[in-house]
Amino acid sequence: MIKPNDQELEEWLNEFTIEYPSEEKIEQTIAMLHHYVPKKKKVHLFRQVYKELLGVSRVFWMTNLIYLAAGIGFIFIGGGNPYITLFLLAPLPVLISLIDVFRGRDEGMIELELSFKHSPSQLILSKLATIGLFNLVCNVLLIAVIHIFTEHILLSSLLKYWVVPYMVSISLCLFLSIKFRAVFAAPISIAILFSLGMAISQMAQVYEAVPTGMFLFLFMAALFVLGLEVKMIYKGAYHEFSD
């Protein structure tokens, strides 16, 4: 059997004509099929957070439990300073958990996550909300235990030793996680946190002399930066790694 060449095949195909539908028919078809398209359900953040609670890795739960046990043990058994304990330990579970939050991106699984019902940005934000809320509960619980059984905690000291270090360290680690791999960002942030904590423990009087207004400014700045970072994640403006 002789195979036709390209020119003969083209001439043969040109004998067939295909009538394209008019613009009006196309619009009518789209309008008719539009009724069969399922409406996108609005998923509330708290409902998504509840689902993420079931999928968060065991590392997160273990770090929070270890954080509570270490904090209580260091204060009640070791006689440690409760404020320095909050300074050093409070952000740790969140910093470590950021590795799990960005695991899909860091391991090149963004394409797979794009096939999910929710976008990668929604998954990241829901995980952040999950670990943030649960860790906040753990912090409040530890502060309540310290306040009841050891000494009355002053709000100004709480601002200096917990709120500001907590917000600044998390904002820094989240920024580094957006730009680089979280597996590198978390250790760097923890190293900076512990270095500052050790320095402050040696210069407690100097740290206490810093005006409260300065800490309020740092808190507002960290909160503003954190809001920008959440906005970046929501828009998908974070670095993706393919290998």
Cβ contact 91:169 at 8 Å = yes
- Residue 241: what pLDDT? 47
Question: Domain tally for the chain?
Answer: 1
Determine the Cα–Cα distance for residues 175 and 228; give it in Å rounded to an integer. 10
Identify the domain containing residue 204 by its residue range: 48-234
> What does each C-alpha distance from 107 to 124, 161, 185, 243 come to in angstroms?
14, 35, 15, 7
Neighbours of 105 (CB within 10 A): 22
Does 26 fall in a domain?
Answer: no
Does 153 fall in a domain?
Answer: yes
Does 133 fall in a domain?
Answer: yes
Does 216 fall in a domain?
Answer: yes
Determine the Cα–Cα distance for residues 226 and 181; give it in Å rounded to an integer. 18
Cβ contact 186:130 at 8 Å = no
Does 135 fall in a domain?
Answer: yes
Does 169 fall in a domain?
Answer: yes
DSSP string, 7-59: HHHHHHHHT---PPPPHHHHHHHHHHHHTTSPPPPP--HHHHHHHHHHHS-HH
Does 210 fall in a domain?
Answer: yes
Type of residue numbered 206 = V
- Residue by residue, pLDDT tens for the chain (243 residues) are 555 567 777 777 777 766 777 778 877 887 777 777 666 555 555 555 555 555 556 666 777 788 778 877 877 776 677 888 888 888 888 887 777 777 766 665 555 545 455 566 777 777 777 777 877 888 888 888 777 777 676 777 778 888 888 888 888 888 888 888 777 888 888 888 888 888 888 888 888 888 888 889 988 998 898 888 888 887 776 655 444
Does 243 fall in a domain?
Answer: no
